[in-house]
Amino acid sequence: MTNLILPHGGGELKPLLLEGAAQREEVAKAAHLKRVPMTSRETSDLIMMGIGAFTPLDGFMGRDDWRGCCETYTMPSRKGLFWPIPITLSAEEASAKSISAGEEVALWDVETDALMGTMKVTEKYSIDKEYECKQVFRTTDPAHPGVKKVMEQGPINLAGPVKVVSESYYPEMFKGIYQRPADARKLFAERNWSTVAALQLRNPMHNSHAYLAWIAIEVCDGVYIHQLVGKLKPGDIPAEVRVKAIDALVNKYFRKDRVLQGGYPMEMRYAGPREALLHAVFRQNYGCSHLIVGRDHAGVGDYYGPFDAQKIFGEIPSGALLLQPLAMDWTFYCYECGSMASMKTCPHESKAIIDENGNYKGGARLLLSGTMLRKLMSEGKPVPAEFSKPEVIAVLKQYYDSLEEKVEVKLHGAATGNVKGTSSSK
């Protein structure tokens, strides 16, 4: 018995990954089933169900649950269980027509050309893609990477319970960092942690990330630096590089008994507020009692306000989640304070001025963001010492120096401070 938070839904973890003889039998059976190709997003969702991160889901959603998630964050098939983003599997029309209700199919990852699982098809249905995008992403702009994925998916959704037979390349490629929820819960219990704050990361840790983690450690037993190792958009730093950079920072600047690292295989949707809620759901399954929600959590571009992901936790029904958000204001380095600070604590409002060589020229607040860090590094410009630790910069410099073709990184309002309502306290 532990004092850790219960999984979502209040029951036990529900992993759908088969092992041993059951896994071998399912693989053999799948050789004789029709193949349904899956996108990288669908594959990652299947693995999340396999490892129990999407507890208590037992498969891809039917129409009623799809619409319920879109409209009210709930699943009618599960007595109104809270769920913020539809988890669906699409198919091309010809493929869907060839499949009968009740038929079992093999789920095939097209990128790795590998069997990932099987599904008993209980329902076939079409959806309004623009409607889903408006509800989940708050936009239908095809430039939004999440919208692009939805609009490109097949016209028919297939629903039904799944059996998972593979975790793809994640256990080997990210050995030592990739974890199932049960693994994380075991480690938390061994440390006698009962309150655990999850820090969501898709970028290397700069000093603002570290500052948020240190604050969380002050109010919880420990912090779980939980990195996304699934697919990202062009311009984001690859997961294997990010892991090295975070290792370099954590190993030198954190107490070993107060921090743990883990990796999870979900693909980013960049859905901002809605994705923050999904992050909360599966972090609860991992055993985390809190989720650090800072500026522009899971956002992209200027589609969301800098603190919309915090506000949405106040808009969902009471009791929808056991996990609680740790809402953090915009953090930065203040040259007047001589330390990291936030808009709630720092009285100095002028922006810091940094020249092309990374030298300080005046002003107070140096705003930090992963996007700004990537832009400076990709353009070969000096990074101010206050921005990130030298060990992190060394890892990133090696990566950017190795690139034959640079990816342009565009700054948006949330990365520069040029947005309205830049404080969560307003």
Neighbours of 98 (CB within 10 A): 11
Is residue 418 part of the annotated active site? The answer reads no
Residue tagged active-site, from 67, 157, 180, 203: 203
Q: Based on the number of CB atoms within 10 Å of its own CB, is 284 exposed (0-12), middle (13-18) or buried (19 or more)?
A: buried
Asked whether residue 35 is domain-assigned, the answer is yes
Q: How much is the pLDDT for 426?
A: 37
Number of domains in the chain: 1
Q: How much is the pLDDT for 407?
A: 58
Backbone angles phi, psi at 99, to 5 degrees: -105, 130
Asked whether residue 63 is domain-assigned, the answer is yes
The stretches of 1-39 forming alpha helices (DSSP H) are 20-30
Task: Tell me if residue 111 falls in helix, strand or coil.
Answer: coil
Place of tokens 């992190």: 392
Backbone angles phi, psi at 139, to 5 degrees: -160, 155
- What is the CA 140 to chain-centroid distance, rounded? 21
Asked whether residue 112 is domain-assigned, the answer is yes
Angstrom distance (rounded) from CA 265 to CA 214: 25
- What is the CA 29 to chain-centroid distance, rounded? 33
Q: How much is the pLDDT for 413?
A: 47
Q: How much is the pLDDT for 382?
A: 86
203-251: pLDDT as tens digits: 788 899 999 999 999 999 999 999 998 877 777 788 888 888 889 999 9
* 269 and 138 Cβ atoms separated by less than 8 Å: no
**Among the listed residues 119, 127, 117, 78, the one whose alpha carbon sits nearest the alpha carbon of residue 102:** 119
Angstrom distance (rounded) from CA 68 to CA 73: 6
Residue tagged active-site, from 202, 269, 274, 374: 202
Asked whether residue 188 is domain-assigned, the answer is no
Task: Tell me if residue 174 falls in helix, strand or coil.
Answer: coil
Place of tokens 């997003």: 41
Angstrom distance (rounded) from CA 250 to CA 204: 11
Q: pLDDT tens per residue, the chain (426 residues)?
A: 579 999 999 999 999 999 999 999 999 999 999 999 999 999 999 999 999 999 999 999 999 999 999 999 999 999 999 999 999 999 999 999 999 999 999 999 999 999 999 999 999 999 999 999 999 999 999 999 999 999 999 999 999 999 999 999 999 999 989 999 999 999 999 999 999 999 998 878 889 999 999 999 999 999 999 999 887 777 778 888 888 888 999 999 999 999 999 999 999 999 999 999 999 999 999 999 999 999 899 999 899 999 999 999 999 999 999 999 999 998 999 999 999 999 999 999 999 998 888 889 999 999 887 777 778 888 888 888 898 899 999 998 898 888 877 655 565 544 444 444 445 543
**Distance between start and end Cα atoms, the chain:** 42
Residue type, 19: E
- What is the CA 235 to chain-centroid distance, rounded? 17
Q: Based on the number of CB atoms within 10 Å of its own CB, is 253 exposed (0-12), middle (13-18) or buried (19 or more)?
A: middle
Q: How much is the pLDDT for 414?
A: 46
Q: How much is the pLDDT for 385?
A: 87
Asked whether residue 237 is domain-assigned, the answer is no
Task: Tell me if residue 155 falls in helix, strand or coil.
Answer: coil
Conformational region of residue 181, where left means phi above 0, alpha means psi within -120 to 50, and beta covers everything else: alpha
Q: How far is CA 239 from CA 203, 212, 230, 246, 264, in A?
A: 8, 21, 8, 10, 11
User: 127 lies in which domain range?
Assistant: 20-170
Asked whether residue 97 is domain-assigned, the answer is yes
Q: How much is the pLDDT for 347?
A: 97
Asked whether residue 314 is domain-assigned, the answer is no
Q: Which residues contact 343 (CB under 8 A, 6 or more apart)?
A: 329, 330, 422, 423, 424, 425
Asked whether residue 153 is domain-assigned, the answer is yes
Backbone angles phi, psi at 45, to 5 degrees: -65, -40
Is residue 365 part of the annotated active site? The answer reads no
Q: CATH no. for residue 28? A: 3.10.400.10
Q: How much is the pLDDT for 44?
A: 97
71-117: pLDDT as tens digits: 999 999 999 999 999 999 999 999 999 999 999 999 999 999 999 99
- What is the CA 278 to chain-centroid distance, rounded? 8
